[in-house]
Amino acid sequence: MPSNGQAAIPAYQKIQAAIRDRIEAGTLKPGDSVDSERELARVHRVSLMTARHALASLEREGLVERRRGAGTFVAPPRIHFNKLMSYTEQMTSRGLSACSKIIAAKIIEQEDEIAARLMLPAASKMVKIERLRHTADEPFALETCYLPAEMFPGLVRNLLGRSLFARVEQDYGVQLTYADEEVDATAADGRVAQFLELPRNAPVMRIRQVIYSGNGKPAMYVVGFYRAERHSLFIRRFR
């Protein structure tokens, strides 16, 4: 019994903490096998029921997933939309390192549909940044961001280092406040399939976001294609 008057930490929470620590340290990566209930019970000297409770709680959190007949595995990252977050923030919240490869960064114009999304005149110049997102050494998403060139001068020449969200907010003083999002399923065309290492026409999740600044004007339009078979959408709704 604890001498300081505080309640003892339940055994199942100790098991959860041990697994979380291994995930955050990178010892366990998405897709890696997690010890079975029986093994956890033996190592931590608890009942099978306690070990089962620990894994069930981690599964509800989205940290692990149980596959019938195969075992328990570290779950791939979920995409959280209850809060507007950058890719770097998303990965950090899961204890994973964010890795991106810049495919294209240039100024474009004569893109009427994209300009309309940003509420700009049709002939406006825009910054286009296309990146391939990785996690656990595999492609996660192909993402293209469009920003008003007039609002973000010099952005194309200075992309490395911090996340795009951080650069927009810290270097340009543009506070990102909310986003309107469209989520649908589509088939990967040849280019998307190549970058995401999928068969052509494989199902992918497409997410289109218009991200607004504090003055209510669009600051960024983002189109992302995500590997549907590895990543799930998580939405928390409040009433």
Question: Could you report the per-residue pLDDT of 9-27, keeping only the tens digit for each?
Answer: 888 889 998 998 888 777 8
What is the model's pLDDT at position 92? 54
Model-wide pTM > 0.95:
no
Does the pLDDT of residue 5 top 50, yes or no?
no
Mean pLDDT of 25-31: 81
Do residues 179 and 84 make contact, with C-beta atoms less than 8 angstroms apart?
A: yes
Task: For residue 225, give both structure tokens.
Answer: 């294609």
Tell me whether residue 221 is exposed, middle or buried, using C-beta atoms within 10 angstroms of its C-beta: 0 to 12, 13 to 18, 19 or more: buried
Higher pLDDT, 30 or 202: 202
Helix and strand element counts for the chain (H, E): 7, 11
What does the pLDDT look like over 124-163, one tens digit per residue?
Answer: 999 999 999 877 677 888 999 999 999 999 898 877 667 8
Output the pLDDT for position 80.
53
- State the burial class of residue 105 (Cβ atoms within 10 Å of its Cβ: 0-12, 13-18, 19+): middle
* 46 pLDDT tier (thresholds 50, 70, 90): very high
**Quick check: 206 pLDDT over 80?**
yes
pLDDT for res 227: 86
Q: What are the pLDDT digits (tens) for 176-195?
A: 888 888 889 999 999 999 99
What is the C-alpha separation between 219 and 174, in angstroms, rounded? 8
Q: What share of the chain is helix, strand, coil (3-state, %, to 5)?
A: 30, 35, 40
68 or 225: which carries more pLDDT confidence? Answer: 225
Q: What is the pLDDT of residues 213-229, one digit of tens each?
A: 988 899 999 999 988 76
Per the prediction, the chain carries an average pLDDT of 83
pLDDT for 231: 58
Q: Which residues contact 159 (CB under 8 A, 6 or more apart)?
A: 102, 105, 129, 167
Instruction: Calculate what percentage of the chain has a pLDDT beyond 70.
Output: 81
CATH topology (fold) of 79-234: Chorismate lyase (3.40.1410)
Tokens of 154: 């010099």
Name the residue type at position 44.
H
For residue 8, pLDDT beyond 80: no
How far apart CA 208 and CA 196 sit, in angstroms, is 18
The 8-class DSSP code of residue 157 comes to G
> What pLDDT is stored for residue 1 in this prediction?
47
Predicted confidence at residue 126, as pLDDT, reads: 96
Residue with tokens 């923030």: 89
Residue 23 pLDDT: 82
Residue of 120, 132, 133 whose CA lies nearest to 90:
133
How far apart are alpha carbons 222 and 167 in whole angstroms? 16
Percent of the chain with pLDDT over 90: 40
Task: Assign domain 11-74 to its CATH architecture.
Answer: Orthogonal Bundle (1.10)
Structure tokens at 158: 């200075």
User: Phi first, then psi: what are they for 144, rounded to 5°?
Assistant: -125, 125
Q: Where do the domains of the chain lie?
A: 11-74, 79-234
Residue in 178, 111, 92, 101 with CA at minimum distance from that of residue 141: 101
Tokens 């041990």 found at: 18
Segment 82-87 mean pLDDT = 57
CA distance 45 to 47: 7
Contact 116, 126 (CB under 8 A): no
